[in-house]
Chains A and B, each alone.
Chain A
Amino acid sequence: MFLETMLLTFKVALITTIVLFFIGIPIAFWLSATKSRLKPIIETIVSMPLVLPPSVIGFYLLIFLGPNSAIGSFVENWFDIRLVLSFEGILIGSILFSFPFMVHPIQSGLQSLPKSLIEASYTLGKSKLQTLTYVQLPNIKNSLLTGIVLTFAHTVGEFGVVLMVGGNIPGETRLASIAIYDEVEALNYNLANQYALTLFTISFSILLLVFIINRKFSGILR
């Protein structure tokens, strides 16, 4: 039971991180380069999960993805996937909720690069995509790593959204953070401690690793 829950927790975190990595880069790139009037609106939407109570997001996901909603019933009828109280559901919730943790570091990394690097690449005949791939991203490895780790760690630590959207189904949507709450309610302090200590240790190690690596990177930028 313990192992199953921990594995599920890391599975959700891993998939969320991978998905957000590939969605986050184009959005961060757009935000870092655009002069559009829409920018503040998009920035606000991306940042909302930072200030909203997780239960608010969870609540609206339940409403809009539930089997009685348009989206929920469409996906269920056509793909036979239920979007709430399911693994897919907590995945969507996690992706939305961890959005700013991936986008913000990458965006600020891109913005901190000297503009002349990008312009130099353009004058050398390279397209925006080539410039992003070969010049911008390789020079913000710090920020990419920060985005990946923060997203992963934040997803592991998520509680409210997952509980609202996923319920608490063992092996399907019960993640470690919920399991702790569950075990405490059942006065099962030993098991709760086992979960808590594991999460604590893993989070500590990941963050420590990031800070060590970032320190090395900041000396030599490549």
Chain B
Amino acid sequence: MINIDITKSFKNADFHFKAILKDNSLNALFGKSGAGKTTLLRLLSGLETPQNGKILVDNKIWFDFEKKINLPPQKRDIGFVFQDYALFPNMTVMENLKFAQSKIDTNFLKELIDIVELGEVQNKYPEQLSGGQKQRVALARAVAKKPKLLLLDEAFSALDNSMRIQLQNDIKHIHQNLNLTTLMISHDIAEVYKLASNVLLIENGKIIKNGNPNILFENSQISGKFKFSAKIIKIEKADTIFIVTLLIQNNLTKVVATLEEIKSMHVGDDVLVASKAFNPIIIN
């Protein structure tokens, strides 16, 4: 269990993070840009030092202001996936992974390479890889030493949809295989639903909610039998009504909407699709 209670002030922002991450949980850190998501990851990893508070990991102290304990990143047993990948340009894919291990564990390296499907490029240098491949190398490198805590900083931001889905599957796969406690930044509700068991909702430097992914819609008044998070892909006019095309997970769905409803909707919005009085048919 990871117990966080830390504060940090910058010139124009104050952060106070209080949260508990359960062992082997996959946590999504969800919030607007500037809310402090990356700062939280950097504070946890030791790349940034809090001004007060504590970080306890299985009762081991990583940071304690009062006891003047502050473990450097090297001793925190973390894996960090950077937004810009941060692969070492002078090393091949395999060498990047090996660099992460103090004792080379060939079997585990092979397993990792298989999970992220990098077998064909393992002897190539980072500059010869595509963006998606680089991201997968970064992920594999971060878990190569089997860290206690895996931190993913906006891992998906630069990827197109098909690569995103592959990387999401990789993360899920790695999480299931290695049981790492994971904290990942995400902007995408669908992604959060797909991957995370727990969500930390962050706003203005504070974690305002911590719970299962449904908290993202807690404010909505709807109590539906069916609830899906979706993204608006297209809004078309058809006679007097509108047809909204939605992406739910990887499926496209069309839903009708009135002019009144359309007014507050925009293409690209994350929305909730719910249905109440409705008898579904399940077809096998």
What residues make up the interface of A, taking CB atoms closer than 8 Å to B? 114, 116-117, 119-127, 134-135, 138-139, 220-222
Contact = CB atoms under 8 A, between A and B. Distances in A.
Contacts of A117: 86, 88
Interface of B: 45-47, 72-76, 78-80, 82-84, 86-90, 99-100, 102, 125, 127, 141-142, 145
A124 B89 contact: no
Contacts of A119: 47, 73, 80, 82, 86
B47 A123 contact: yes
A135 B84 CA distance: 16
Main secondary structure of the interface of A (DSSP, over half): helix
Query: What is the predominant secondary structure among interface residues of chain B facing chain A?
Result: loop
Contacts of A126: 74, 99
B47 A122 contact: yes
Contacts of B99: 121, 124, 126, 134
A193 B141 CA distance: 60
Given A134-B99, A220-B127, A122 B86 contact: no
Contacts of B73: 119, 122-123
Given A116-B82, A116-B84, A122 B90 contact: no
A135 to B, nearest CB: 6
B48 to A, nearest CB: 10
A169 to B, nearest CB: 46
A214 B28 CA distance: 44
B102 A125 contact: yes
Most buried by A among B74, B87, B127, B142: B74
Contacts of A116: 82-84, 86
A129 to B, nearest CB: 11
Nearest to A118: B86
18 contacts: A117-B88, A119-B73, A119-B80, A120-B87, A120-B88, A122-B47, A123-B76, A123-B80, A124-B141, A125-B75, A126-B74, A126-B99, A127-B74, A135-B88, A139-B90, A220-B127, A221-B89, A222-B125
Given A114-B84, A127-B74, 15 more contacts: A116-B83, A117-B86, A120-B86, A122-B72, A123-B45, A123-B78, A123-B80, A124-B141, A124-B145, A126-B74, A134-B88, A134-B99, A135-B90, A139-B89, A221-B89
A127 B72 CA distance: 10
Contact of B80 (A120, A135, A221): A120
Contacts of B141: 120, 124
Max chain B Cβ within 10 angstroms of own Cβ: one of A116, A123, A134, A220: A123
A116 B127 CA distance: 16
Given A114-B84, A123-B45, A124-B141, A222 B78 contact: no
Contacts of B72: 122
Contacts of B88: 117, 120-121, 134-135, 139
B82 A221 contact: no
B74 A222 contact: no
A123 B153 CA distance: 13
A126 to B, nearest CB: 7
Contacts of A123: 45, 47, 73-74, 76, 78-80, 142
Contacts of B145: 124-125
Contacts of B78: 123
Contacts of A135: 88, 90
A139 B96 CA distance: 14
A119 B88 CA distance: 11
